[in-house]
Amino acid sequence: MKIRHVVASLCWCVAAACGATEFQALDRAAATRIVDPSRHTVPTIVALWSSECVHCKKNLKLFAEMVKADRRFRLVTVAVEPQFAGLAEPLDLLAVPGQRFAYGAESPEALGYALDSKWRGELPRTIFFDGKGGKTALSGVVTEATVRSSLGLQTNP
């Protein structure tokens, strides 16, 4: 048990060094800003995830690896649950960089609708912005080819 805590602490330090931030509480105004294509001037991934979603972690791992290998895009994560002790652990263990949000005090339904009016709560949900005004939302586990295509990054760096 102690080893797990040491590993988690070490991963947290690595994630902090890679630019990971504390969670910001998400409200409807912030959710609307996050999904406004005009605010994304570079290709951006907005990953909606939950601490109990195994498939979400598959996507997060892929996104973290891709960001590490190719700095042409940004990653924003949104935990679709309120912040709690330990919520950052999955992100830290995978060294997921980028801005982090967790649902704030407003209704989860209102926050979900503000993020994506066509979303019905299935996870993982990913919103891709190509940095040129284009936006694509997909549910489920994605492949690297799908990510690159959705971001308009057809070739490796």
Ranges of each domain in the chain: 2-151
Confidence band of 35 (pLDDT split at 50, 70, 90)? very high
CB atoms within 10 A of CB 99: 18
- Burial class, 48, CB count within 10 angstroms (exposed 0-12 / middle 13-18 / buried 19+): buried
Contact 150, 130 (CB under 8 A): yes
pLDDT score at 14: 42
Summarised one tens digit per residue, pLDDT across range 53-87 is 999 999 999 999 999 999 999 999 999 999 999 99
Q: What is 2-151's CATH topology?
A: Glutaredoxin (3.40.30)
Confidence band of 154 (pLDDT split at 50, 70, 90)? confident
**CA–CA distance, 39 with 43 (Å, rounded to integer):** 11
Average pLDDT, the chain: 89
